[in-house]
Each structure stands twice: as structure tokens, then as C-alpha cells.
């Protein structure tokens, strides 16, 4: 077992850290207050750095990073600013269904549009007002009209909703069939009939763009149907299995940023004649935060490794990926909430004020327990997988 990063991983992490430090952090406070994603200020820089296309294979113009290395990049990005990182990193989620289920023709048609140097955004259109965790409850319809499908419906809480150049959209071709009627589609952001609804005013990750998306008689060529009718439920589940390591990594990044701020403060803040880190109540809290972060990082490393091996065709990794990614996502989301809350506590009254960034980290951390499958859904997935488990091995 080798925990040392290889040269490609070291280079990717260093690049992402520098970008987060020099490009994201200087914008974080201002755009968190505004509650907007500064697309014109940051997107081209992120694209030129390869961050909007990191997970796209090199043959389609992307960075070709495997899921583990991509997750390491996400840790650095979320360390910089979780809001900005969410909008930039959403491309990774949106293109995953194309990589999983797309034909070679679809990949050649769509992936280069989001490739390195292209300042383009993508959106993953799954959630609806009445269909969040219950994917089979999707109400958006796709009607067969000969050489194309016609999409009608509403999506909500969509990262980059209404400002994306490409969407992966999930709709129901036959509502009476439940999940068997679901289908995925690749949809151009400029297609007639697509419009943006409410721009959400969020608690955290405020520098990301989150909005409703409406589809009003949107025509989609049949050639852009993903994987066939009835395959969408499995495409979605496989997509989330693949991307949850990145979400877990983002949670680690937020927690790490909060920990560093709390540690620095505890070394400098003097009470009763000594830095407060000399107080056991504070030092033990900091060590608990450190243990949480290190444990979370190892869990997302393992989930990312499973995703990498599964993508390479390893059947054993594929069997373990669902549980492994859910463990990482659930633990790291909960952990980020604990660590950021404790960081606010270490700073006391100052931590509650917007003069210090720890209150932002706490607000940002909450979403890590919610999007791409809530903490409770992760436990539901793990519990379901326990039904088929006979023993818990070390190998």
C-alpha cells in the first residue's frame, strides 16, 4: 500500500492549490456577499487551467484526470472557495453520464465543447420540485415525435441552471412505467424553449449559480438520447457513485480551510496570559478536528481509487464502489459540518462575525450533507448493500 502521490497527482494538486489561492480566495468574500457566480471574471481562467474539463479524457480535449486525482483537485478548489468551486466543478458531474453511457458519436459531438480552453459550463438536470431523492418520481416528460423528443418540465436547484452551454437532462418517456420510463438526454443550452427560472438565494456556496430551469417544448434529436429508454435510473446511480468521491473531497477542503483558520487564531489569541491553544479544551478540540479531516481524506482517497478501478473495468471495485463512495460522502459531509462548527467555537464571538471566514465555511459545509444524495440517502444506500454482505474483509 503506497500513500505517496505520483508525479501527475502532485502536479495537479499543486496547480489546483495555486489557482485556489490566487484566483478563488481573492473573489470569495465579495461574491459570497453578492450571491452570484462571477462567470466573466473566473470562468476563462478556470478553463485555461483545465479545471472545467479535468475529468474529460484527453482524446476529447480534456485533462484526462482519473476520479481519484480529480477528487484531489476538488479538495484544493473547495479549500479556496466552495461556492466558486461548485460552479466550476459542476462540469464534472454533468459530463459523467456522457462518459458512462454515451456513444462514441455523442462523446465526439459534445465533449470537445467543454474541453480545455473552452470557457463553457455544463449542468446536471435531475432534481425537481417533487423529485429529489426519489429519482423515479421525475415529472419532466419526453415525448417521442419521430426523429426527435420534445421535453417539457421544470428542474430546480440546478448548479449553472440557465447559464450552461450543455445540459444532461433526465425525463420520463412514460410516467406509468416509473423508473423504467426514465431516459437521459444531452441538450444544448441554446435550444429553443429553455429558460431560467428563480435564481436561488442560498445559505452557503453563495458564489455558485443555482437556479430553476424550464423546458417548454424543447426539441432534442434522437441521436442525443443517452443509453436508451429505461436506462436513466442506472446511469444516474452510476454517475453519483463515480462523483461522490469529489463531493467528499470538497467537504475535506472546506473543513481544512476552517481548521487552518482556527489553528492560527488559537496560536495568536491570548487569554489568561497564554495563547488559547495551551488550554486543553481548545487543543483537544483542534486535535479532534485534525483527526476528522485526516480520516475523511483517506475515505475519499479510497472511494476515488474504487471509482478509478471501476472505470477501468475492475468488477470487484465496481461492486464495492456504491458502498465506498456513500461512506466517504456521508462521513465527510457530516465531518465538515462538525469541523466548521468547532472552528466557529474556537474563535468564539469573532467566529460568529463576518470579519472572519469561519462563519462562511460553516454555511458552505451544510450543503455537503445535502447535494448529490443527502446524508440519510447515503445511509440508505449502505443499508441496502448490507443485505448482500456476508463478511467484512480487509481485502
| Catalytic site residue from 75, 359, 372, 391 | 372
Out of 92-101, 353-362, 383-392, pick the least confident: 383-392
Q: How many CB atoms lie within 10 A of CB 391?
A: 4
pLDDT tens digits, 256-311: 999 999 999 999 999 999 999 999 999 999 999 999 999 999 999 999 999 999 99
Coil/strand/helix, residue 152: strand
d(CA 246, CA 265): 29
Please state, in angstroms and rounded to a whole number, the distance separating the CA atoms of residues 23 and 118.
18
Q: Which residue do the cell numbers 481573492 mark?
A: 26
CA distance 264 to 260: 6
Report which of 209, 289, 220 is spatially closest to residue 31, judged by C-alpha positions.
Answer: 209
Query: Residue-wise over 224-263: b if at least 16 C-beta within 10 A, else e?
Result: bbbbebbbbbebbebbbbbbbbbbbbbbbbbbbbbbebbb
Tell the burial category of 192 from Cβ atoms under 10 Å away from its Cβ (0-12, 13-18, 19+). exposed
* Paired strand residues for 154: 214
Active site residue 372: yes
Q: What is the pLDDT of residue 142?
A: 98
Give all domains of the chain, ordered by start, each with its CATH number: 7-114 (1.10.540.10), 122-226 (2.40.110.10), 232-386 (1.20.140.10)
Which of 39, 220, 208 lies closest to 140, judged by CA? 220
Mean pLDDT of the chain: 96
Q: What is the spatial distance between Cα 373 and Cα 326, in angstroms, rounded to a whole number? A: 9
pTM confidence score:
0.97
Amino acid at each position: 500500500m503506497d500513500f505517496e502521490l505520483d508525479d501527475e497527482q502532485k502536479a495537479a494538486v499543486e496547480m489546483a492549490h495555486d489557482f485556489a489561492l490566487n484566483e478563488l480566495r481573492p473573489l470569495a468574500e465579495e461574491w459570497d456577499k453578492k450571491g452570484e457566480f462571477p462567470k466573466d471574471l473566473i470562468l476563462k481562467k478556470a478553463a485555461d487551467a483545465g479545471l472545467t474539463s479535468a475529468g474529460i479524457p484527453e482524446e476529447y480535449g480534456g485533462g484526462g484526470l482519473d476520479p481519484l486525482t480529480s477528487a484531489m483537485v476538488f479538495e484544493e478548489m473547495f479549500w479556496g472557495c466552495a461556492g466558486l468551486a461548485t460552479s466550476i466543478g459542476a462540469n464534472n458531474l454533468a459530463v459523467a453520464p456522457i462518459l458512462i453511457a454515451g456513444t462514441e458519436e455523442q462523446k465526439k459531438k459534445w465533449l470537445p465543447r467543454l474541453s480545455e480552453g473552452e470557457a463553457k459550463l455544463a449542468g446536471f438536470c435531475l432534481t425537481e420540485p417533487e423529485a429529489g431523492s426519489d429519482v423515479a418520481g421525475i415529472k419532466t416528460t419526453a415525448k417521442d415525435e419521430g426523429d426527435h423528443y420534445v421535453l417539457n418540465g421544470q428542474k430546480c436547484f440546478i448548479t449553472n441552471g440557465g447559464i450552461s452551454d450543455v445540459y444532461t437532462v433526465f425525463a420520463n418517456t412514460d410516467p406509468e412505467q416509473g423508473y423504467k420510463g426514465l431516459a437521459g438526454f444531452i441538450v444544448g443550452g441554446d435550444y429553443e424553449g429553455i429558460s431560467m427560472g428563480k435564481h436561488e438565494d442560498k445559505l452557503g456556496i453563495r458564489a455558485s449559480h443555482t437556479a430553476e430551469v424550464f423546458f417548454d417544448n424543447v426539441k432534442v434529436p434522437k441521436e442525443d438520447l443517452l443509453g436508451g429508454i429505461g436506462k436513466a435510473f442506472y446511469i444516474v446511480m452510476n454517475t453519483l457513485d463515480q462523483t461522490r468521491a469529489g463531493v467528499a473531497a470538497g467537504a475535506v477542503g472546506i473543513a481544512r480551510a476552517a481548521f487552518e483558520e482556527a489553528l492560527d487564531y488559537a496560536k495568536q489569541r491570548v487569554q489568561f496570559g497564554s495563547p488559547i491553544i495551551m488550554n486543553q479544551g481548545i487543543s483537544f478540540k483542534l486535535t479532534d478536528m485534525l483527526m476528522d479531516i485526516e480520516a475523511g481524506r483517506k475515505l475519499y482517497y479510497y472511494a476515488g481509487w474504487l471509482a478509478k478501478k471501476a472505470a477501468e473495468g475492475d468488477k470487484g471495485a465496481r461492486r464495492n464502489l456504491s458502498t465506498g463512495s456513500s461512506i466517504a460522502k456521508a462521513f465527510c459531509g457530516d465531518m465538515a459540518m462538525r469541523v466548521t462548527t468547532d472552528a466557529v467555537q474556537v474563535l468564539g464571538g469573532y467566529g460568529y462575525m463576518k470579519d472572519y471566514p469561519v462563519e462562511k465555511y460553516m454555511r458552505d459545509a451544510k450543503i455537503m450533507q445535502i447535494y448529490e444524495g443527502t446524508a440519510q440517502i447515503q445511509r440508505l444506500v449502505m443499508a441496502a448493500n448490507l443485505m448482500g454482505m456476508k463478511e467484512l474483509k480487509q481485502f
